[in-house]
């Protein structure tokens, strides 16, 4: 089995370089490792054997599609990780075990030892300590899920070889993982599993500004419902939770989150929906 790792990165060359350094600890090496940036400035100073490419534009969906075009004919499984995701040493060995033993599985996300996305974020040193303390489970579990989590997700390419990320979800591409994995769910089993694990740092630099993300939090779920890759209940629940959180927490916002910007983006999105002009690509104008 040939396994490729793809990392999309923008504006964080030092972060991705640290991630690549930690990937050399894998007990099972990737057959190919590609990093796709949006500009030459995104290139890590030390590639640790990775290949660096520049996509024809900026945006998570676009950059991941560029990676797919590069590796699709050479890999059986592609693993997408964020540029601030640190896998435990047995990560790729676990991916290989899962996709070898369970032919019905077409997409999977691994166990998160910790996720800094909802806090100030984690450092690489903290991730190293968490991984050092982590113990592989004695029993491996699969839990069926509606989608994969974009910071660490693996796909059996032969199951849906023509599926690509939706480039109508620009920049941060909010919910691109939900949309992509929903198309795999039509042909096989999508799971969360402890076959492989890692730590998501949740680095705050290089992320989409609050207004743009807030707009996407409301409009992108609606777009996926119209497209048929999300059900109304999921979309309404997700959008409502984000709106309520931004309203409540904008009174005393966390230092690491632009709550007021997100709330403004939420309100702009609701206004566009009322006018019948809601479109995920409008974030490019904000």
* Sign of the CA dihedral with 76 first, then 79, 80, and 83 last: negative
Going residue by residue through the chain, which has 286 residues, state the pLDDT in tens, using 9 for 90 and above.
Answer: 999 999 999 999 999 999 999 999 999 999 999 999 999 999 998 888 999 999 999 999 999 999 999 998 899 999 999 999 999 999 999 999 999 999 999 999 999 999 999 889 999 999 999 999 998 888 899 999 989 999 999 999 999 999 999 999 999 999 999 999 999 999 999 999 999 999 999 998 756 779 999 999 999 999 999 999 999 999 999 999 999 999 999 999 998 899 999 999 999 999 999 999 999 999 999 9
Does the reported pTM lie above 0.85?
yes
Q: Which domains does the chain have, with CATH numbers?
A: 3-200 (3.90.550.10), 210-285 (no CATH)
Query: Are 34 and 7 contacting, i.e. CB atoms less than 8 angstroms apart?
Result: yes
The contacts of residue 274 (CB under 8 Å, 6+ apart) are none
C-alpha torsion angle, residues 128, 129, 133, 137 (rounded to 10): -30
């Amino acid at each position: 089995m040939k396994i490729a790792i793809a990392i999309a990165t923008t504006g964080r060359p030092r972060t991705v370089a640290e991630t690549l350094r930690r990937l050399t600890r894998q007990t099972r090496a990737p057959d190919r490792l590609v990093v796709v940036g949006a500009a030459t400035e995104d290139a890590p100073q030390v590639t640790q054997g990775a290949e660096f490419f520049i996509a024809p534009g900026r945006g998570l969906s676009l950059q991941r599609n560029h990676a797919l075009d590069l590796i699709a004919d050479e890999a059986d499984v592609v693993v997408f990780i964020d540029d601030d995701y640190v896998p435990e040493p047995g990560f790729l060995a676990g991916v290989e075990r899962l996709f070898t033993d369970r032919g019905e599985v077409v997409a999977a996300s691994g166990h998160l030892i910790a996720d800094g996305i909802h806090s100030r974020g984690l450092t690489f040193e903290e991730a190293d300590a968490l991984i050092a303390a982590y113990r592989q489970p004695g029993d491996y579990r699969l839990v069926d899920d509606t989608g994969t989590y974009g910071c660490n997700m693996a796909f059996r390419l032969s199951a849906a070889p023509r599926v690509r990320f939706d480039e109508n979800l620009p920049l941060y591409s909010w919910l691109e993982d939900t949309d992509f994995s929903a198309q795999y769910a039509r042909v096989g089993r999508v799971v969360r599993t402890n076959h492989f694990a890692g730590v998501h740092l949740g680095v705050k630099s290089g992320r989409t500004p609050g207004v743009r993300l807030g707009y996407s939090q409301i409009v992108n779920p609606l777009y996926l419902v119209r497209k048929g890759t999300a059900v109304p209940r999921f979309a309404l629940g997700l959008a409502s939770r984000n709106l309520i959180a931004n309203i409540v927490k904008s009174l005393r916002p966390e230092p690491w989150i632009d709550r007021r910007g997100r709330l403004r983006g939420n309100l702009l999105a609701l206004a566009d929906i009322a006018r019948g002009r809601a479109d995920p690509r409008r974030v490019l104008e904000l």
